[in-house]
Structure 1
Amino acid sequence: MSQLRVPVSARDHIRGGNDADVTLVEYGDYQCPYCAMANPIVGLMERQYGRALRVVFRHFPMEEVHPLALTAAEAAEYAGDNGVFWEMHDAIYANQPRLGVPLLFAIAGTLKLSQIGLRDSLASFLHAERVRSDFLGGVRSGVNGTPTFFINGVRHDGGFSASELSAALEQQLTVTR
């Protein structure tokens, strides 16, 4: 049973409060079709569990099979610098079949982000170290594919269907209450 080696901190992208009973950490890749399938399920879990659940997203771009994943992660980080990480995150997954640089710029425009700023950020690899840090933390935690979830610091080795994730979250809620 793998443990999360890098604790959740203020540097992470977090939805939900620090007082939540359960923390769900996802290591994901924006070009991974399974991550795109999991994203609305994670959203469903957020709605279902409300304040009891805190969700954290960390980057794990598997560049050898997903050549656009790193660029998408860096674009999401650029959006995060401007306070709209989760909006970019959700929009990338919602439009994943069209993933490419033109889509990232279109989403940036929709989010009222500077396209010149995004261009400069991508050209200079401004956020590459942040994405690499997430990736290495995932490797240290035993991540070898995406999506990989950790629930309260323990790797969830089950599936990511709504019923499977809900059952795992319920189990943790029983332990924490």
Structure 2
Amino acid sequence: MSLKIPVSITDHAQGNLDADLVIVEYGDYQCPYCGAAYPVLKKLLKKFSGEVKFVFRNFPLSEMHEYALPAAIAAEAAFLQDKFWEMHDAIYENQRKLDDQYLFKIAEKIGLDMEKFKSDIQKEELVNKIDADFQGGVISGVNGTPSFYVNGKKFNGAAEDLFELFTRSTGEI
């Protein structure tokens, strides 16, 4: 399978934004497998930040994970204050504590304007962005989280396999 929605400026991306190697993750903030992948991806980005563009797209499995959608909304609201990655990281780093109140604690801790945050999480455009990510994942063949695409092609492996693949392809140890 291949990525049906190309990476664009509307995506949340970090690393080298002009890199030839582009990794797209469809993730759910409450998924334990995404939580386990998070530190591996952070390590990969730290080691190869100049060579990788990493894109995160929302794929909340709301029927299984009660706080997946609220967490995605919180991250999108943080984006409106230029703090998407701070919220993204804080959610994954505190995944087991997730509930509605804890999302507000994280927002406060990362320095968001709380009045703006409380207003922004009500915006329909945030839910629309998450839905667009989700639908893009569905048509691209995402059937669970995390799902990875490397340069537009589905990667059938875990984050550790991705790290190994990249380490081998660059000749690094």
Provide the TM-score with structure 1 as the length reference: 0.90
Q: Structure 1, residues 51-102: CA drift from partner, whole Å, max 9, x if none?
A: 1111000000011101211111011001011101000000000001110111
The equivalent of 1:94 in structure 2 is 93
Paired residues in the alignment total: 171
SS across alignment from 1:51: coil
1:165 alignment partner in structure 2: 162
- The alpha-carbon distance between structure 1 residues 132 and 44, as it changes in their structure 2 partners (threshold 3 A), is same
Q: Distance in 2 between matches of 1:44 and 1:32?
A: 19
Shift of 1:48: 1.7
Correspondence for 1:77: 76
Classify the secondary structure of the residue corresponding to 1:44.
helix
In structure 2, the CA distance between the partners of 1:134 and 1:172, relative to structure 1 (3 Å rule), is: farther
Question: RMSD in angstroms over aligned alpha carbons?
Answer: 1.6
Change (3 A) 1:83 1:153: same
* Structure 2 residue matching 1:123: 3-state secondary structure: coil
In 1, the alpha carbon distance for the partners of 2:152 and 2:16 equals: 16
Is 2:61 aligned against 1:55?
Answer: no
Gaps of 5+ in 2: none
Measured at CA, do residues 50 and 122 of structure 1 come closer, stay the same or move farther in structure 2, by a change above 3 Å?
closer
Give the 3-state SS of the residue equivalent to 2:116 in structure 1. helix
Q: Deviations over 1:118-149 (max 9, x none)?
A: 22223344410000000000001000100000
- Deviation string, structure 1 residues 89-117 (Cα, Å, up to 9, x no partner): 00000001110111111111112212222
- Aligned partner of 1:151 in structure 2 is 150
Q: Which runs of 5+ in 1 are unaligned?
A: none
In structure 1, how many angstroms separate the alpha carbons of the residues matched to 2:159 and 2:49? 18
- In the alignment, is the contact (CA less than 8 A) between 1:21 and 1:173 conserved in 2? no
Quote the Cα distance in structure 2 between the aligned partners of 1:130 and 1:118.
16
1:132 equivalent in structure 2: 131
| Runs ≥4 residues deviating over 6 A | none
More deviation in 14-23 or 120-129? 120-129
Per the TM alignment, residue 173 of structure 1 is displaced from its structure 2 partner at its CA by 5.6
